[in-house]
Structure 1
């Protein structure tokens, strides 16, 4: 009865473009201490080798809201996850996995062989997600992530073989 009166929000993953650069920058700034600007997102969205997928919550009572995104660059038979972020209030609901699953399906359809990403070694939630998707650590970049306080953090370089 409650679902009838208050239906659950519908989740939709779709392409996002340069016209949503401000929203992407807002989500990124909320997720990372070193954020990218709307101009950065607009420039990346204009690159023909880059695709962006956004996750929107469609609610009965409010307009659709962009709550997460993944940004991917494809070069020949390899791809790189440039960034993925989910708004803080929407974390812990599997939205990051949904975004990654859809991005990886698209890469597979495009016959991409391998997908790479970099992740802060100390971000256990993200590392766990990527490992659960089959990514393996293939390298480490020491002192890669600058921190406001304390020493710089290491980046794990991870790869998923899609074929």
Structure 2
């Protein structure tokens, strides 16, 4: 997905350990304290955990039958326990932000959780991440709390996290 092409196809598939390197690279684009491949594999191995990866499929740009590589756009990791779930992390790469990738990931999470009988989803988001907060509100999340100085930033002060819930 490029800045010139806002209509590029977004596919969402299961995030497996085979994609851990891709996910780790994406995580570095969104967080000062990012997770490496091992940490992501460990999280995926926890009972009740699952992840989703969004990407644009490789295309035959030259018409010669040679497909370009798929372009990873973002991913989400979720932990479920009984009828509740929590977003462990969600990130959309800089080139794909504000193009519906986060919404596609979240809608797929919500659909999966609905099929599993999960009726409560929690997440934390930096209070200065206005785009993410707007998306979560659009999807029916409401603020239920705040964690003071939860997120560390390499440059600048710590930032509060809003705790949001969707029933």
TM-score (norm 1): 0.90
Give 2:74's aligned residue: 68
Matching of residues 46-65 of structure 1 within 5 Å: 46-61=45-60, 62-65=68-71
1 CA distance for matches of 2:125 and 2:98?
18
Larger helix share, 1 or 2: 1
Computed over aligned residues only, the root mean square deviation of the Cα atoms, in angstroms, reads 1.5
User: How many corresponding residue pairs?
Assistant: 155
Partner of 1:10, secondary structure, is coil
Structure 2, unpaired ranges of 5+: 1-6, 61-67
Structure 1, unpaired ranges of 5+: 1-7
Does the CA-based 8 Å contact 1:138-1:157 persist in structure 2?
Answer: yes
Please list the CA deviations of residues 106-125 of structure 1 after superposition, one character each: whole Å capped at 9, or x if unmatched.
Answer: 10111112000000001111
Give 1:36's aligned residue: 35
Partner of 1:101, secondary structure, is helix
Give 2:153's aligned residue: 147
Give 1:106's aligned residue: 112
2 CA distance for matches of 1:32 and 1:116?
19
Give 1:125's aligned residue: 131
Please list the CA deviations of residues 7-61 of structure 1 after superposition, one character each: whole Å capped at 9, or x if unmatched.
Answer: x643211102111111101001011111111111011112231101111201323
Partner of 1:119, secondary structure, is strand
Give 1:87's aligned residue: 93
Partner of 2:53, secondary structure, is strand
Partner of 1:54, secondary structure, is strand
Partner of 2:10, secondary structure, is strand
Does the CA-based 8 Å contact 1:10-1:59 persist in structure 2?
Answer: no
